[in-house]
Each structure stands twice: as C-alpha cells, then as structure tokens.
Structure 1
Amino acid sequence: MNPRLPPGWIEAAWPGNPRVRGLFTARQGGCSGGPYGAGEGGGGMNLGSHVGDDPRAVAANRESLAQRLGGAVPAWLEQVHGCELADLDLDLDPGGPASPRRADASLLTRRGVAASVLVADCLPVLLAAPGGRGVAAAHAGWRGLAAGVLERSAAALAARCRCEPPQLQAWLGPAIGPAHFEVGDEVREAFVAHHGAAQRAFMRGERPGKWMADLFELARMRLREAGLAPESMFGGGVCTVANPSLYYSFRRDRVTGRQAGLVWLV
C-alpha cells in the first residue's frame, strides 16, 4: 500500500495493466465530524452527500479525494441496489461529470474521469480491461449481486473493449464480512435458486432462519460465472464492521458516512 495514504485506504494494483489505477477510501483522512468522523470526533473522510453530514465537509472531502486522482474527476452515482449500468463515455458534459446518474455501476474508456461507487458495508468491485482499454466500478450489495450487477458490468466492459471476459481483472474492496453479515432465508434462496453452489457461501446462524453470508465469496462466484479467471481477482476479506476505526459501517452504526471505490485510466 502507498504509505502516503491514510490508514485503511487501499491502492488497487493491476498486474500487467499499468494504465489502470484503483483506490478504496476509508473513514480517516478528511474533515467530517460526529458520526461521520474518524472515530475520535473529527477527521472523517465521508464522501456521501445523502447521509446527513455537513455539505461543506462532504464537498471538502470530495475535493481532497480528487487531488489524489491525478486529474481524474469522480463520477458519482445515485445508487439504488440494482444492476443498472451508466455509460460514462456517453453521459458526460464537456465540463466533467454531470448530476448523479441513477445506477449501481458505471464504465468508461476515456481518461479524466473515475468510475466511482459509495459503500458502507456493500462490496465495491472494480474491473479493468487489458491494455488499459477501459474500466468499470460496481456497487455490489446482496440485492445487486443477486440481480446480476457484476455479470452485467463484466459483459458490458468486455464488449466495449473488444476483449474476452477471462482477460478482465477484478478488485474487491472492504465490505461486511461473513462473521457479521446475518441474513434471512430469502437472501440465501435468491442465490441458491440461481446456482446451487452458492449454498457454500452461507453458514447457519445462531437464530432460526438466519444465515451468515460471505459477500466476498458470492461476488467471486458471480465473477467466475461472468467468465473471469480466479487468478485475475484480487482483494476481498477486509471487513467494514470489524474495523470501526478504519471503515464506515451502516450495519454497525446506522448513522454513518460512506467510503468509495474508484477506478480510472492514466
């Protein structure tokens, strides 16, 4: 990890793909306070403008983030836990990203913009095509995963960049871990009905009708179904709930900020 990054931030490395950059932010390194702070009354890097934080703090945090992206401007989305994909090659005005698009994933093949998603327990997944031909970012909570947001994102990126899915690379950022992600029978059934092998991503919980779900494994399974090679998947395993000083978690705190996953071309 880049030692200049604040604690908890993760720089995504792309083997053999030097034109791609990726970054997962954390709760430290900004100026938000209260429940949006860094855990000690201030310094929070909340990037969500819809969670009740001071708009001036959010604007300052976003500006500070932009300075770390080498000129790339984050393209924020209005996320709804679905599988709609925003095409940032088509949906940009000359001055940069316009108002947030209603989608849970985005792709681009141009420089100067960062495909971006906001999370606070859901899984941010970054995708890259070979040769720096294009990138995508997806917001993958259980609803988005079950609806096919990763398959749709991978297929669209491969088609746009004229490559095969096994040539794509993926990075999984911090999310709620299997020790803390308790779900009901309906969530398990949504995945197992699609593919029986998904049952291995669920362990019986302590309460009747409850299961502990492994969001990272579910995402890897969906990426494999989309055609990605296991050796081209990186990251995962960092739990937002278990690291309160590093990451925002809606499941843990309810009133909280949002961190981001971003990917861009240089």
Structure 2
Amino acid sequence: MSVSTQPARPLYRTPSIFRDFPHLVAAESTRHGGVSPAPFDSLNLGLNTDDTPENVAENRRRFWQALSIDPTRVAASYQIHGNEVLTVCQPGDYQGFDALITCTPGIALAVTIADCTPVLIYDSARKAIGAIHAGWRGTVGGIVAKTVAQMSREFGTDPTDCFAYIGTCIDECSFEVGDEVAEHFSEQHKYFNQRAGKFYVDLKKANYDQLKGAGLADSNIQLSLHSTALDVADYFSHRLEKGKTGRMLACISMVENG
C-alpha cells in the first residue's frame, strides 16, 4: 500500500500509483485555481450547487484543459449514494449510478465528491478503468467490490492486474455517525468515542478492505494522505462547511492510441 505526496495548492493532484502508465490520465481536483467566490471558493466543479452555472462552467473548462481532456468525452452520472454500476460505451451524462466502468479509450470517467470516497481503478492487462463514488451507503452496499466484479464480467478483468487509488474523503476522526449508520459497519471499520458518545467510521479502510477482498494486491492500492475535513483549505467538505461549499471531481481516462 503506497501513499501520495505532491506540492501544496495545485489545481489537481495525480495519484502516483498510476505513474507507470503514461497512456493513463487520472486526477483528483482541489479547491484551488477557479473563479467561484466564497463559500464555493474557488474551483467548484459541482453542477448541483448554489454557485452560478457560469462559474462552474469556467472552473470545469480550466480543470479539463489542465488535464488535456476534451469535455465532450467525459462520462458522469447524477449520483444517488447507491451502489449501481454502469458500463459506459459513450461519453455523456447519466442518471442514478455511483460507479462507471469502460474499456473504451478516450472516454474520461468522472465522479463528484465533497466528503464521500472516490476510488479509481485501472486494469493494466485488459485496459479497462473504473471510477467510483463511495458514500457510506454505497460502501455498505459493497460498491467497490461490485465494480471490480462487473469489470471481471464485462472485460475479463483479473483483480491481480488492477491498480487502485482511494482518494481524498472525510477522515475517520471527523466522520461521526449515529447508531443507525454505525450498525451497518463492521468493528474494524468503526470505533466508539467515549467522550463524544458517538461512533466514528473509517471509509478509506472500509473501501480498502473491499479492494483487498476483491483480489487486488496491497502494493497496488494507494490511499490519499489528505482529508476533506482536516484539509478544508485544499478540499471541499460538505459536512464541515454545513453543505454550503463546492464539489471536487475525481477522474480517469485512457488516452486514445495510448
């Protein structure tokens, strides 16, 4: 299991787990480098916020341009905090899916995040990719394991050939939950804080264990060192900022003819 480090205040960060694959573009945006005013300052990429559409459009233009990705080749879905996986053959806007997979070069898969866990997967043998939005409900619903299984069915993916990045999300010490949420998580993915009288859940560990359980090697999984709640100067946190904030994107794409 590796970890990521990059210079402070970039427009996006690139997972180092994918650095040996030059035909692969993978990134996770920060909140820097955009035009949106507070409380969406500044690189708000979320379409469903109270920010102006003009600001979001300009922010998205800057993000995709920085990655040399054609925005007309992006596939994304209106996420519902579920565990449905869509096999994508064409770019476009979809509805009701929290994970997207494809084996088509040139399509960029993107998920929107602001505390939930983004997971990016690359099958280095079959040349297939996946992008996952794992909220607590999706995590409980096994969305990461379900995505790997669907890649295996659709593309013949062998999990031992896969590399994965578990991205920036709310950290264990900040994700306080009630009993009605905690009861869905196993003991190794939560702890009870006696002083607060509340459970705290580790989404990164829960999704990491799903990847391991699906067959990925420990050395092929990278965990972000960052936290949306602890590093709110660099990332948007829906919980910490009480819903008045922007959204990030995590994306992955295979370059055509790469």
After TM superposition, the score normalised by the length of structure 1 is 0.86
Q: In 2 relative to 1, CA 8–183 (structure 1 residues): closer, same or farther, beyond 3 Å?
A: farther
Provide, for residues 17-45 of structure 1, a one-character-per-residue CA deviation record: whole Å limited to 9, x for no partner: 332221000111111112101xxxxxx11
Alignment-mate amino acid for residue 137 of structure 2: R
Determine the structure 2 residue equivalent to 1:41.
none
Determine the structure 2 residue equivalent to 1:163.
157
8 Å contact kept, 2:76–2:110: yes
Provide, for residues 213-242 of structure 1, a one-character-per-residue CA deviation record: whole Å limited to 9, x for no partner: 111111111111222111110123311111
Alignment of 1:217-228 (within 5 A): 217-228=205-216
8 Å contact kept, 1:20–1:132: no
Cα distance between partner residues in 2 of 1:77 and 1:168: 23
Q: In 2 relative to 1, CA 46–81 (structure 1 residues): closer, same or farther, beyond 3 Å?
A: same
Residue from 113, 116, 120 that aligns with 2:110: 116
Shift in Å, 1:131: 3.9
Count of matched residue pairs:
246
Alignment-mate amino acid for residue 9 of structure 1: Y
Cα distance between partner residues in 1 of 2:125 and 2:22: 8
Shift in Å, 1:187: 2.3
Cα distance between partner residues in 2 of 1:242 and 1:28: 16
8 Å contact kept, 2:178–2:199: yes
Alignment of 1:113-192 (within 5 A): 113-131=107-125, 133-192=127-186
Cα distance between partner residues in 1 of 2:230 and 2:69: 33
Whether 2:30 is the aligned partner of 1:26: answer yes
Shift in Å, 1:15: 5.4
| Identity level (%) | 30
SS of the aligned residue for 2:164 comes to strand
8 Å contact kept, 1:66–1:74: no
Structure 1: any 5+ residue segments left out of the alignment?
Answer: 38-43, 193-198
Cα distance between partner residues in 2 of 1:226 and 1:108: 18
Structure 2: any 5+ residue segments left out of the alignment?
Answer: none
Cα distance between partner residues in 2 of 1:173 and 1:161: 24
Shift in Å, 1:188: 2.5
Cα distance between partner residues in 1 of 2:152 and 2:25: 18
126-135 or 76-85, larger mean C-alpha shift: 126-135
RMSD, aligned CA: 1.9
Shift in Å, 1:99: 3.1
Which stretches of structure 1, 4 residues or more, deviate above 3 A after TM superposition? 15-18
Shift in Å, 1:201: 2.2
8 Å contact kept, 2:159–2:214: yes
SS of the aligned residue for 2:109 comes to strand
Determine the structure 2 residue equivalent to 1:263.
252
Determine the structure 2 residue equivalent to 1:60.
58
Provide, for residues 131-154 of structure 1, a one-character-per-residue CA deviation record: whole Å limited to 9, x for no partner: 461100000111101011101111
8 Å contact kept, 2:11–2:63: no
Q: In 2 relative to 1, CA 55–136 (structure 1 residues): closer, same or farther, beyond 3 Å?
A: same
SS of the aligned residue for 1:35 comes to coil
Alignment-mate amino acid for residue 79 of structure 2: Q
Alignment-mate amino acid for residue 185 of structure 1: D
SS of the aligned residue for 1:23 comes to strand
